[in-house]
Chain A
Amino acid sequence: MMLYFASFVRIHKRMEDDSSKIVKLLKKGSAEGFRLASETFGPRIFALVLEITGSRADAEELTSDVLMKVFRNIHSFRGERAPLSAWILAIAHHSAISAVRRRQNRPTDSLSDRLPEACVDPPDGDTDDRVALVEEAINALAAADRTIIHLRYYENYSLKEISEITGISAAALAVRLMRLREKIKRYILNNNGK
């Protein structure tokens, strides 16, 4: 699992390095720019909006919409306040939150409920049991809280970067994250997790 984290951080760093190249290509209207931007940021947009909406179909539609917004507005990106990835994920965050508000009924089933059966690994030990409990705990959180958890633990973003995306101050985020972690921990302990 630690190896997974190390490789994630390396990939994350490389993506940031590629950002200035992608911005230049997109501003020139190059086909390579559209391809690189879609392949680099598409999965990250999809992951975030899936976390917020809980619906794969909505996530696909939103990913497409967000990337089109990025293509249309790339000339307004200056990179002074936030890196490209944070700028893009901020657009994704706002789009997904708006979509959830429009829909007005938060999904009651978890992401796992929508997974094809073959994708769901049955728990085969203590760790898997606890991972399953954490999944349940995360799914029970409000969309705004799931966003914070996602950006911190899936994207591995710092509080400052999460603040740039969500508009919540880093200090407030630190407190909120601590409470969310406590909430998840309590859920595991209350459900016989170790």
Chain B
Amino acid sequence: MENDNLDILIAEALRKQIDPQLPTAEFYGHIAARGLRERRWRRVRTVSVAASVALLAAGGASLLFFRGTSDGAESSADVWTGPYVASVAAVDDRLRSFDEVQMRLRDDISNQFPYVYDSTEK
């Protein structure tokens, strides 16, 4: 078998296996929208629990992440603004992946409540 022939056969075999399975443009559109939504989250600052709740009530916050302490109480909260006013989320910062958990929660909130809680939509 000629080497060039083998190269062509390999390329053809890959194309035949993969191309029929490629997702539609709609699939990529959803991912683009998800990326855009995530970009709209902004971290404001970490404040006391009382101050964070006041900020949420005054419209200066969209999402609070409470930091837990070893006795189970909440000591402070990370305040975020974003495209959606979400329910208050409690996260224990004793988790080593605290930042990762926050990121995933923001992502989940964006994906689960894209319209109902969008504070920017009129």
Q: Do A and B bind each other?
A: yes
A residues whose Cβ falls under 8 Å from a Cβ of B: 1, 4-5, 29, 31, 34-35, 37-39, 42-43, 46-47, 50-51, 56, 59-60, 63-64, 67-68, 71-72, 110-112, 114-116, 119, 121, 127, 130-132, 134-135, 138, 149-150, 153-154, 181, 184-185, 188-189, 193-194
In the complex, what distance in Å separates the CA atom of A5 from the CA atom of B11? 9
With both chains docked as a complex, state the minimum distance between the C-beta of B41 and any C-beta of chain A, in angstroms.
11
B residues whose Cβ falls under 8 Å from a Cβ of A: 1, 3, 6-18, 20-23, 25, 27-29, 31-36, 38-39, 107
In the complex, what distance in Å separates the CA atom of A114 from the CA atom of B27? 19
Which residues of A sit under 8 angstroms from B13, Cβ to Cβ? 131-132, 134-135, 138
User: 5 A-B Cβ contacts within 8 A?
Assistant: A43-B23, A50-B21, A115-B21, A153-B7, A181-B10
Q: Which residue of A lies closest to B11 (CB)?
A: A153
Which residues of A sit under 8 angstroms from B36, Cβ to Cβ? 29, 31, 34
The answer to whether A194 and B10 have CB atoms under 8 Å apart is no
Which residues of A sit under 8 angstroms from B32, Cβ to Cβ? 31, 34-35, 37-39, 67
Q: Which residue of A lies closest to B16 (CB)?
A: A131
Tell me which of B16, B21, B22, B31 contacts A64 (CB under 8 A): B31
In the complex, what distance in Å separates the CA atom of A79 from the CA atom of B44? 31
Tell me which of B1, B10, B18, B28 contacts A39 (CB under 8 A): B28
The answer to whether A42 and B27 have CB atoms under 8 Å apart is yes
The answer to whether B39 and A29 have CB atoms under 8 Å apart is yes
Tell me which of A56, A132, A153, A185 contacts B14 (CB under 8 A): A153
Number of A-B contacts (CB under 8 A): 115
**Besides the known contacts A39-B25, A134-B9, A184-B6, 13 further A-B residue pairs in the complex with CB atoms under 8 A apart:** A1-B8, A38-B35, A43-B28, A60-B23, A68-B107, A111-B18, A130-B9, A131-B16, A135-B13, A154-B14, A154-B18, A185-B1, A189-B1
Q: Which residue of B lies closest to A193 (CB)?
A: B1
The answer to whether B17 and A111 have CB atoms under 8 Å apart is yes
Which residues of A sit under 8 angstroms from B22, Cβ to Cβ? 43, 46-47
Which residues of B sit under 8 angstroms from A37, Cβ to Cβ? 32, 35
With both chains docked as a complex, state the minimum distance between the C-beta of A9 and any C-beta of chain B, in angstroms.
12
Given A60-B23, A115-B20, A185-B7 contact (CB < 8 Å):
no
In the complex, what distance in Å separates the CA atom of A170 from the CA atom of B96? 38
